[in-house]
Amino acid sequence: MISLAVCIGAFVLDVLLGDPVNWPHPIRWIGNTISRSEKMLRRWFTSPAQLYIAGGLLWIMVVGASAAVTWFAIWAAFQIHWLAGSVLQLWLAFTVLAGKCLQDCALDVLEPLRRGDIAEARIKLSYIVGRDTRSLDNEQMTRATVETVAENTVDGIIAPLFYLFIGGVPLAMAYKAVNTLDSMVGYRNERYRELGCVSARIDDVANFIPARLTWLLFSAAAWLQKQDYKAAFVIGWRDRYQHKSPNCAWSEAAVAGALGIRLGGPNQYFGEWVAKPWIGDAKRAIEAEDIVRSIRLMKAAAWIALVLFSACYLLWSFLPVN
């Protein structure tokens, strides 16, 4: 069982440090493994039916290796010295969280928007979204950034923290492998429809509980931030399925409700326009400062989650069965 100190320490390190560019990072290693494994499997499996099987093998290879290597590395470090094991465990736990990185990426879009530098804002936005940003205006870029903050609060903070508390670093790293697979191959386009099917479906399962927790956490965060917490709760529930993903709209709708804005709508992905439903009610026009407001909601929700998960951890520790 992972210690509470490691979970809290990892959270605080993420708040303070984020993702330093020059530091080694296991998620990048997972991404490289996915790329190499995909190329290898495509040489062996070519037909649509075979690619479905290849997608399952890819998932087993990447997720299994991520969990196993993490577990073995921590075990080996503890065999050397308890301090080595503790430091490695803390560092690995820190790398599964991405709150400050998400904040910094959103602010990178906001700054050129404030200056009126549309071209720079489009470039910065293209780093964090899958849609075509070349023709987006200020309002569309703001909406895309707020959506990114809301959606990625789930898989960048709440979900990895959730799995870290219940299963330690190996389970949290396995979750990040699941999520990275979905972000790299879990598309319904011609290239990945078969190969990415397993990864996309299991990512939906992995985020099922965290997404719904995030809806509640955003509602509580809206109350702390003196935003419309009632609308966050009600619209989060009302518009929870206004997305092709069974999980994404929960957090987006809660943020839309809290801020009184409308998210979603049609967008261009890989050169094709995709008709997406609107999320939330347009009580007012969206503005660039809503990016800051969404970041504040994200940070408040993250701290609430840490307190809640820590309380559950302590309660479980004191139960007679333990």
- The 10s digit of each residue's pLDDT in 251-295 is 999 999 999 999 988 776 655 666 789 999 999 999 999 999 999
Beta bridge partners of 268: 273
- pLDDT at position 72, please? 97
Q: How many alpha carbons fall within 13 Å on the CB side of residue 41?
A: 26
Tokens in use for 300?
Answer: 């408040």
Residue 220 CB contacts under 8 Å (≥ 6 apart), including other chains: 229, 300, 301, 304
Q: Of 7, 10, 15, nearest to 298 (Cα)?
A: 15
- pLDDT at position 134, please? 85
Packing angle between helix 248-259 and helix 229-238, nearest 10 degrees?
Answer: 140
Spell out the domain ranges in the chain.
4-317
**What CA–CA distances, in Å, run from 285 to 229, 262, 264, 307?**
19, 8, 14, 34
Can you tell me the distance from the alpha carbon of 54 to that of 56, in angstroms, rounded to the nearest whole number? 5
Whether 154 has a pLDDT exceeding 90, the answer reads: yes
Q: What is the mean pLDDT of residues 178-191?
A: 90
- pLDDT at position 22, please? 80
Q: What is the pLDDT of residues 189-240, one digit of tens each?
A: 888 899 999 999 999 999 999 999 999 999 999 999 999 999 999 999 999 9
Whether 175 has a pLDDT exceeding 80, the answer reads: yes
Q: How confident is the model at residue 108 (pLDDT cuts 50, 70, 90)?
A: very high
- pLDDT at position 26, please? 92
Can you tell me the distance from the alpha carbon of 211 to that of 246, in angstroms, rounded to the nearest whole number? 9
Can you tell me the distance from the alpha carbon of 8 to that of 1, in angstroms, rounded to the nearest whole number? 14
Would you tell me how many other CB atoms lie within 10 Å of the CB of residue 143?
23
Packing angle between helix 159-185 and helix 208-224, nearest 10 degrees?
Answer: 120
Would the pTM of this model clear 0.75, i.e. be above it? Answer: yes
- pLDDT at position 321, please? 65
